């Protein structure tokens, strides 16, 4: 029987993360000591390693919970797994593109600001650097 710390070492997971997974019911202790300490088996360690693999592949903890619950009922989670990752691929692609746009905005701004001095704020302006960025007046609307 393993303690939380031992389970953490066994599954290459920070102990406080293991405790978080316990808290949300993603994993359950196999047994409990009289003093309230949780105890685990090597089966639990394998389960936790699975959780980490799935997370590394982009699954959310909620999705992983669903998957393991399905699996415990004997139902194959594979179909859901395929669907989820397809969805996640689209989602992630969109997010990456958005972040690259942001990156460009930031780099352009910083470059533009190189030629500008610092300013002292008055009632009208808070920070003329930020306010000088393109899209201030005629608001370009690039939203989701």
Q: Would you tell me which residues interact with DNA (CB under 7 A)?
A: 3-6, 14-17, 19-20, 23, 29, 35-38, 55, 60-62
Q: Which stretch binds its own copies (CB under 8 A): 2-10, 15-23, 28-36, 96-104?
A: 96-104
Is 68 a binder of its own copies (CB under 8 A)? yes
| Minimum CB–partner distance for residue 2 and DNA (Å) | 8
Task: Give the integer Cα–Cα distance in Å for 65 and 79.
Answer: 15
Residue among 36, 56, 115, 138 that touches its own copies (CB under 8 A): 56
Q: Which two tokens stand for residue 114?
A: 């190189």
Q: Does 76 bind its own copies (CB under 8 A)?
A: yes
**Angle at CA of residue 67, ends 58 and 36, nearest 5°:** 100
Which spans in the chain are helix H?
Answer: 4-10, 15-23, 42-56, 61-72, 78-113, 128-132
> Contact region for its own copies (CB under 8 A) — 2-10, 17-25, 33-41, 128-136?
128-136
Cβ-contact 7, 48 below 8 angstroms: yes
> Which of helix, strand or coil describes residue 123?
coil
Q: Give the SS3 label for residue 82.
A: helix
Radius of gyration of the CA atoms of the chain, in A = 24
Residues that bind its own copies (CB under 8 A): 12, 43, 46-47, 49-50, 52-54, 56-59, 67-68, 70-72, 74-79, 81-82, 85-86, 88-89, 92-93, 95-96, 99-100, 102-103, 105-107, 109-110, 113, 118-121, 123-124, 126-131, 133, 135-136, 139, 141
């Amino acid at each position: 029987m393993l303690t939380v710390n031992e389970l953490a070492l066994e599954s290459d997971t920070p102990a406080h993360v293991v405790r978080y997974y316990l808290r949300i019911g993603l994993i359950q202790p196999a047994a409990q000591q009289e003093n309230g300490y949780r105890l685990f088996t090597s089966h639990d360690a394998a389960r936790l390693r699975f959780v980490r693999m799935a997370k590394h592949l982009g699954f959310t903890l909620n999705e992983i919970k669903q998957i393991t619950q399905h699996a415990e009922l004997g139902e194959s989670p594979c179909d859901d797994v395929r669907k989820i990752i397809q969805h996640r691929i689209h989602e992630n692609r969109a997010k990456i593109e958005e972040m690259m746009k942001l990156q460009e905005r930031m780099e352009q701004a910083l470059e533009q600001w190189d030629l500008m001095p610092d300013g002292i704020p008055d009632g009208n302006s808070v920070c003329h650097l930020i306010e000088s960025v393109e899209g201030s007046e005629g608001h370009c609307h690039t939203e989701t």
